[in-house]
Amino acid sequence: MSNRTDAKASARAKTPRSAPTGVPSLISADMVIKGEIRSEGEVQFDGEIDGDIFAKGLVIGEGAMVRGEVIAEKVKVAGTVEGRIRATRVELTASSIVKGDVVHTALMIEAGARFEGSCRHSDDPINDTAPATPAELPAPSEDRVLSNQQVPNAPREREAKLREAQPIRRDAAASDKQPENVQPMRQTQGGKALAGKVNLR
């Protein structure tokens, strides 16, 4: 009997224990971690961490705080992340707050999510280490540079230009000349003014 018992015990010792599949690792809300987390499976993170998280799948629960980089195949954010996210599929729920760049293959953002940063598509975001900076604008050419001078497009400005080109000249002699059909008024010796005859044509 003792030999059989020893054989069964040795067989159990030699048989490798397989990790449970489909059960995520749970980090509760009362956990505060300073360092990085590495997992080959799913992680449900509800605590606070100052460091990076590497996992196959990651769920950052509502109220959780991550200060660092997040790298995973699938990331669902319901809490706060201050750092870059690199994942094949990224989902930002309505309660999420993300302050950092997102490198993704597929991105979904629900209404109400707060996202402050830039996002960039990548076919392999997990191995993509390039910063997610926005594309640079082309340098302005000489033809595209706008001057500070105003272009005279308004009708008033056109009229002012025409007036400057063709000024109205007033002749002093012509202004003093009276019309031919009007005779000047004559003063009599008694001080009474008599109107001259006006010829109307």
Report yes or no on 59 lying in a domain.
yes
3-state secondary structure of 7: helix
pLDDT for position 182: 52
Per-residue pLDDT tens digits for 5-54:
555 555 455 544 444 556 789 999 999 999 999 999 999 999 999 999 99
Rounded CA separation 18/30 (Å): 29
Report yes or no on 130 lying in a domain.
no
What type of residue sits at position 87? A
Closest CA to 103 of 114, 91, 113, 118: 118
Contact 57, 74 (CB under 8 A): yes
In the predicted model, is pLDDT for residue 165 greater than 90? no
Rounded CA separation 57/18 (Å): 19
Strands 186-187 and 193-194: antiparallel
Contact 72, 90 (CB under 8 A): no
In the predicted model, is pLDDT for residue 68 greater than 90? yes
Rounded CA separation 184/200 (Å): 15
Report yes or no on 172 lying in a domain.
no
Domain residue limits at 36: 22-121
Structure tokens at 29: 């809300």
Report yes or no on 108 lying in a domain.
yes
Report yes or no on 87 lying in a domain.
yes
Q: What percent of the chain has pLDDT over 70?
A: 54
Neighbours of 120 (CB within 10 A): 17
- How many structural domains are present in the chain? 1
Rounded CA separation 33/153 (Å): 66
pTM score over 0.75: no
Report yes or no on 79 lying in a domain.
yes
Rounded CA separation 48/66 (Å): 6
Report yes or no on 151 lying in a domain.
no
